[in-house]
Amino acid sequence: MTSPTIVFITGVGRGIGRQLVETYLARPNTTVIGSVRDKASATGQTLSEIPTATGSKLFVLSLEVSEPKAALTAVKEIQAAGIDHLDIVIANAGITGPPGFASIDVVTAEALTECFKVNTLGPIFLFQATKSLLEKSKDPKWVVVSTYISSIGLLGTNGMHVAPAYGISKAGLNWATVSVHATHKWLTAISLHPGLVQTDMGNAAAKSFGMAEAPTSKQASADAIIAVRQDRRFDA
């Protein structure tokens, strides 16, 4: 029997993260490890209702990504469940920070700090904790969900100057991902923009741009993320 594909995704309580879980579990022989802040919460409990294909299963754990040692604890929990490697890690958990899409002249220290802790430091802590399990995969992949708002090349055009705390923190995440790519030749490392997606965060962004809602469905975004991961292409 073929060994299952093992995927670890953070921030799966809603939005893109949950859609990724649903999409992966619809595939046979796939083990999905999904993290939420509190697996005992109502959001965490509903994950068990997601249908699974033959040979597929879901393992949910609690993880506060901004805590420096939390990812290490999560990895110990994964290993205790008998999982000895990870094929794919998707750092999806992220926040826009209060007050959301405020401009650079009014963004608060709280927003800057919280976004940096969750969006930049969180994935770094996650990579450090999961590296040893990724090394045991035959084809390991490290994927981070970034945003076009983090692009310095687009800054100041098409409204890309919005949400400074979010954009700055994701720009830092992009730097970290390039560093992972450059220093770990055995690993495929990708930072990608998931689209302007019909999630709470995406719809809020769309409204700040004068749109009724975000144009990209959660399913289309999840499918594209998985396609890029599979093909190592950036045009999906």
What is the set of active-site residues?
166, 170
Q: Which structure tokens are listed for 234?
A: 């950036």
- DSSP 3-state percent helix, strand, coil across the chain (nearest 5): 45, 15, 40
Give the whole-angstrom CA distance, residue 9 versus residue 144: 10
Buried b (16+ CB within 10 A) or exposed e, 117-135: bbbbbbbbbbbebbbebbe
Q: Please report, for residues 51, 159, 190, 223, 227, the alpha-carbon distance to residue 93 in angstroms, rounded to integers and kept in the order given.
A: 22, 23, 15, 18, 20
Q: Which residues pair with 190 in a beta bridge?
A: 143
Among the listed residues 216, 196, 192, 218, the one whose alpha carbon sits nearest the alpha carbon of residue 205:
196
Pairwise CA distance, residues 155 & 172, whole Å: 15
